[in-house]
Amino acid sequence: MITGKNYIGNSLQASGSNTHKTIDPKLNTENPTIFVEATNDEVDQAVDLAWSAFKEYRKVSGEKRAEFLNAIADEIMELGQELIDAYTTESGLPEGRAVGERGRTIFQLRSFATLVSNEDWRGNTFDEAIPDREPLPKDDLRKTLIPLGPVAVFGASNFPLAFSTAGGDTASALAAGCTVVSKAHEMHSGTAELVASAIIKAAEKTGMPNGVFSNLVGRGITVGTNLVNHPKLKAVGFTGSIVGGRALFDLASQRKEPIPVFAEMGSVNPVLITPNAIAARSEEIASTYAGSITLGAGQFCTNPGLLLTIEDGNTGAFIKDLAEKTIAIEPQCMLHPRIKKGFKENGTAVVAQDGVQVEGKVEVGVKENYADSQIVSVSGAEFLANPKIHQEVFGPFCVVVRSKDEQELLSIIEGLEGQLTGTIIAEEEDCNTLADIVDALENRVGRIIFNGVPTGVEVCPSMQHGGPYPASTDSRFTAVGTDSIKRWVRPISYQSFPESLLPSALKR
């Protein structure tokens, strides 16, 4: 049952006076539950409790942490239809998407449980002593990874389950041995509370310390600011806008003890389509990308917002076909009125730039919070000259760039900001001419796709979901897949230590 309160460890609290309601974007009406936002004192309580619990939880064996993660997955499933209903009424997303995202969340939790059920993930190293080495003896050295401490996880607007309360950030942090204080996204406060209740039940059933997890409610920046400023907080996970991620990054870096912020932010995910590919399968590519551009109302961080072509006799027909196929797809509900407002404003700003041509736009029959898909085009020269055309428009909006030649296309790629993905759509005969394109993309993106779509992020060890700034704040790490656990740990060496004092992972 949704109460509208904050979880401070296993205690429900609501001592504040600031409240809010979530919105059903399909109906454009408020949902009934009143959520009481966390006070400064409740934020302090949550982090203090997380720090106290961390001292115990960091020493819990990987096998027991795996039991905890699997129990969370079980308890989320026990929520049944209540969770699905909360998800759909707070997000405007369909039930099928809710069920699929719940499955992804469960899979992530179980994947991390498998990972930490033994110590191999730490990559422990052992350098044995050589006391008689000349000219100097060598001491015994052993290195492992240890958890950072309490982590703040900020729920994402576009993934109420998989990137939120029990999503990848929380799952990987708990797997690493960190405690978590979750800041619920205000759009999904009810969904977040239900998932938080599942985590608390799992913690109690598996004997985890009180404070291993808390969930806070709040609009605006007050709760998040107080959370990041707390001296006992040691790291932050965030998925969202460049503005929000950068604000948290700056806040964390200005603390007396700066802490890392692992923020996954904006990306237009450039897609290069060769002339040979357009000549060979123009209609197939247009159909595929119309679906990818509009998938989930374009509200994916890997949404293809930029298509790069080299202009020839087939380019115009391809762009026209892409536009027709895109706007023929039925408009979908966006996540929230504010997101629809931002979509309209940012799209309008791009269209207003010199040289930008509207190739197709949904003009009629669009409900209040539904997205009117749009395809625009611009020359390579105009794109290079105007950074305002480069900005992300969060929704089903795509800019097609008509480059005059390969050199101009390379200049466009090299001039882009950091991106999560880059895609190459090409024919076999193109492969011996793509080396420079691949080199340019390697310096701009975290994942390169060949003859596919960027939408769809597999949860596996080889996935890299992150890229050069502003795609993420640290391109060395991923926010998806089991390697994302490495964000929440740091290396430590033990030199000439007695066996009895070493952590169990380093004992022979």
Residues 6+ apart with CB under 8 A from 154: 182, 183, 185, 224, 236, 237, 238, 239, 240, 244, 248
Residue 80, Cα to own-chain centre: how many angstroms? 25
Return the sign of the alpha-carbon dihedral for residues 49, 52, 58, 62: negative
Please, are residues 151 and 183 in contact by the beta-carbon 8 Å criterion? no
DSSP H or E stretch at residue 447: strand 445-450
**Greatest CA span in the chain, whole angstroms?**
84
Please, are residues 496 and 129 in contact by the beta-carbon 8 Å criterion? yes
Please state the length of the chain.
508
- A 10 A CB-CB count for 34 gives 13
Please, are residues 312 and 275 in contact by the beta-carbon 8 Å criterion? yes
280 φ/ψ angles, rounded to the nearest 5 degrees:
-85, -35
- A 10 A CB-CB count for 507 gives 11
Helix (H, G, I), strand (E, B) or coil at 329: coil
DSSP H or E stretch at residue 281: helix 275-294
Nearest to 252 by CA among 219, 273, 279, 224: 224
How far is residue 180's CA from residue 109's CA, in Å, rounded to a whole number? 14
Catalytic residue among 42, 67, 193, 264: 264
| Helices and strands counted in the chain (H then E) | 14, 21
Q: Angle, nearest 10°, between helix axes 62-78 and 189-205? A: 130
DSSP H or E stretch at residue 169: helix 168-176
- A 10 A CB-CB count for 456 gives 11
Please, are residues 243 and 58 in contact by the beta-carbon 8 Å criterion? no
Give the CA radius of gyration of the chain: 24
Residue 301 annotated among the catalytic residues of the structure: yes
Catalytic residue among 301, 333, 359, 398: 301
Alpha carbon dihedral 158, 161, 164, 165, in 10-degree steps, equals 150
Residue 264 annotated among the catalytic residues of the structure: yes
CA distances from 162 to 32, 158, 184, 202, 230 (A): 25, 9, 13, 18, 26
Residues 6+ apart with CB under 8 A from 313: none
How far is residue 34's CA from residue 186's CA, in Å, rounded to a whole number? 12
The residues annotated with a catalytic role in the active site are: 264, 301
